[in-house]
Amino acid sequence: MHLVLAIFALLGTVDAAARVLVEKDFISMYPVANQENVYEYHLVNIGDTSAVDVVLSDRDSFPTDRFEVLKGSLDARFAVILPNATASHHIIVAPRISQPILEADVVVDYTDSETKKVSRVTTTWYNKGRFTHYLNKEAIRNLNGSTAMYFVCFGALTVPVTAMCALLYAYSKRRYSTIKKHN
């Protein structure tokens, strides 16, 4: 029993280091060219110690000749990420043309606060060979269907109430105006 506990304790001490995982999410509904496309990054420290000098870089995914960065930065720096804590970062980019673009790696460098060991984590295992096809607006319109349908439904909800009140008022007004006119 003591031996088992000793092994667990040893494993515990071996793993007692910062370990950062990175996640990249596409927040917008569809990737569309010449429109705002929102990306969200989550950095999670699943290790036992804090990660310091955490630097996230996603420059390769959004080359400036193909993308315009509208908000946020392609490089983000976090002074510290505590154990079991999460840090988030957002960017808004607008692709210049409609085209499929090969996803590049998100690279995160961080230093363990205790051992001062510098580590790197990427999204290679997830990205490899993945393309994001930024569609043009017309394609999205066909995909979503026309927004006119939503306006028609909205009108069907609101216009009857409003029009009915106007008609009833007009009817009442005409009724009493007629009496006045005849007498």
Binding site for another protein (CB under 8 A): 29, 144, 147, 149-151, 153-154, 157-158, 161-162, 165-166, 168-169, 172-173, 176-177, 179-180, 183
Q: Which is nearer to another protein, 17 or 94 (CB)?
A: 94
Question: With contact defined as beta carbons under 8 Å apart, do 92 and 31 qualify?
Answer: no
Q: Which tokens is 101 given?
A: 């673009």
The Cα 23–Cα 25 span in angstroms is: 7
CB of 49 to another protein, least distance (A): 34
Question: With contact defined as beta carbons under 8 Å apart, do 93 and 67 qualify?
Answer: yes
CB of 168 to another protein, least distance (A): 5
Q: Which tokens is 83 given?
A: 């154990």
Q: How many other C-beta atoms can be found within 10 angstroms of the C-beta atom of residue 3?
A: 7
CB of 156 to another protein, least distance (A): 9
The Cα 182–Cα 70 span in angstroms is: 69
Q: DSSP label at 28?
A: S
Q: 109: buried, middle or exposed (CB in 10 Å: 19+, 13-18, 0-12)?
A: middle
Q: Which is nearer to another protein, 5 or 179 (CB)?
A: 179
CB of 26 to another protein, least distance (A): 14
Find all residues with CB under 8 Å of 156, minimum gap 6, and list them.
none
Q: Which is nearer to another protein, 102 or 152 (CB)?
A: 152
Q: Which is nearer to another protein, 125 or 176 (CB)?
A: 176
CB of 38 to another protein, least distance (A): 10
Q: Which is nearer to another protein, 10 or 166 (CB)?
A: 166
Q: Which is nearer to another protein, 6 or 149 (CB)?
A: 149
Whole-angstrom CA distances from 137 to 27, 30, 145, 147, 169 are 17, 10, 12, 13, 45
CB of 20 to another protein, least distance (A): 27
